[in-house]
Structure 1
Amino acid sequence: MKKKLLCTTIGMLGFMIGSVSAQFSRPVSVGAGAGVAYNLTDLANVEAKFAFYGEADYLINPFISVGLHGEKGTLSGNGHNSEFENRYFAGNINGKVRLGQFMGQARNYSYYTLQANTFERILSNVYVGAGAGLVKNRIKRQIDPLYVEAIANQGGELAEDLGEIHFVVPINVGVDIPFGRTLYGPQWAINVNYQHTLTTNDNLDGIKNKKNDQYGFVSLGLKYALFNRK
């Protein structure tokens, strides 16, 4: 009995997801954009620097997606007569959930896109997300000997590997603003996003101290939906 109930439940969930997806003719989107990245590291005087990204997303339904994100930028900071620059590469796999998932939208997504007003369409595409990935450091640094001594007194040290690869957890909040609306949903979207990346290693600035480093990335981008229904 329990086995039958489990199979029935799984089948119903699969049918529901399939029904929603069938109303959305563009299950894959690609995007690119740019912005500024800033570090939260031991050298606390932050210098916001240029960064850019490319990404691809697969829509499980119109409001839940999984995707790949690649990023290149520069983190820079100074203080204590010292400075660093990290021309990093990063990549991650992530998932996002949009507010539309909880707004009781019509099952017929095509009908919804034609009937909803501009505010509702934008609000339904506000999202939060998280993922997992890697960052590759390319660090250059100039550290004052007195600061090295101060770090050592606090139990820290200078990192030996300035090209280290380590695990990161990106957290995202943002909005997709759709335009180019068609019968089957928007063709384009402007993306505004803030990504806060948590690292598992205190080495974005070449200095290892007590707390793991973090960085933020504010970006503006453009998305294009692929595979239009014929």
Structure 2
Amino acid sequence: MYYNFLKVKSLTTFLLFVTFFCNAQSNYFKWSYGFGAGVNYSRTDVVHGNWGYTFSGNIDHHFTPFVTLGLEAQYGMVQGGDIVTDPHNRQFVNKYNGINANLKIALGEFIDYKSTSFLYKIRGLYGGIGLGAIKNKITDIVRYKPSWAANDPGYGPFPGKDKSVDLWAPINLGINFYFNDKWGSIRYALNLNAQSNFTFGEGLDGYDDSSSKFKNYAPDTYNVYSIGFRYYLGYTKIYKRTL
């Protein structure tokens, strides 16, 4: 009788342990892809930046639900300056495209997001960095000052290339808001992202002037503010915690 009691107690303990262990895990999809669109603002060798647009597509491999390595492709228009208001009468329009490899890590990897509803909602907050190449195509640029310029009318040409390829380093800060499918797995996400893009070269604005005459000390950059959609797919893997 005592032996049977021990067997029942041991079996109950084992089942409780298995139940707890299973409930403390979740399946997640190992791949996702997404699309995004937004506006960008340039900071280059011209005095004032301007607004443009950016479209993006990406595919990511998920080492965990919160750690990804992926590829991002971008297409858009970056512009800056103004032939009338710029002190040197410079302006440019760049129809660019580029690709980068990037690593992102989300807050959910480090915190007990089940402890409060607020932490659970922001578990998709992430930061990331990447490296790639950007192809610049200048479609409109002032190479010579106009005849009505206040200083040095007709000066030029401003040196630089209309087509070039530069090294590109994006830094990301964003958040994913997750949505489950009918089986309770995370299948979709709404993405908000802010991205600072550093280019190492003089192709983004098409100007490559001497720093002795013009301020030209920092990398040409543009910041992108976008909204996007993500879809999760592929094989599933077990994560150590519930999602």
Which protein shows a greater Rg?
A: 2
Is this contact kept in 1: 2:30–2:235, CA < 8 A? Answer: no
Q: Percent identity?
A: 30
Report the counterpart of residue 176 of structure 1 in structure 2.
176
Displacement of 1:116: 7.3
Is this contact kept in 2: 1:121–1:178, CA < 8 A? Answer: no
Report the counterpart of residue 204 of structure 1 in structure 2.
204
Number of equivalences: 194
Q: How far apart, CA to CA, are the structure 1 residues paired with 2:35 and 2:103?
A: 17
Matches within 5 A, 1:17-166: 23-78=26-81, 79=86, 80-104=88-112, 117=117, 119-139=118-138, 140-145=140-145, 146=152, 158-159=159-160, 161-166=161-166
Deviation per CA, 1:95-116, whole angstroms, max 9, x where unpaired? 00101111146xxxxxx6xx97
Is this contact kept in 1: 2:28–2:65, CA < 8 A? Answer: no
Q: How far apart, CA to CA, are the structure 2 residues paired with 1:48 and 1:127?
A: 25
Give the alignment's TM-score, normalised by structure 2: 0.72
Structure 1 letter corresponding to 2:231: Y
Give the alignment's TM-score, normalised by structure 1: 0.76
Structure 1 letter corresponding to 2:130: G
Report the counterpart of residue 225 of structure 1 in structure 2.
232
Is this contact kept in 1: 2:190–2:229, CA < 8 A? Answer: yes
Structure 1 letter corresponding to 2:128: G
Is this contact kept in 2: 1:24–1:61, CA < 8 A? Answer: no
Is this contact kept in 1: 2:163–2:203, CA < 8 A? Answer: no
Q: Which has the higher helix share?
A: 1
Unpaired runs of at least 5, structure 2: 1-24, 146-151, 209-215, 237-243
Structure 2 letter corresponding to 1:211: A
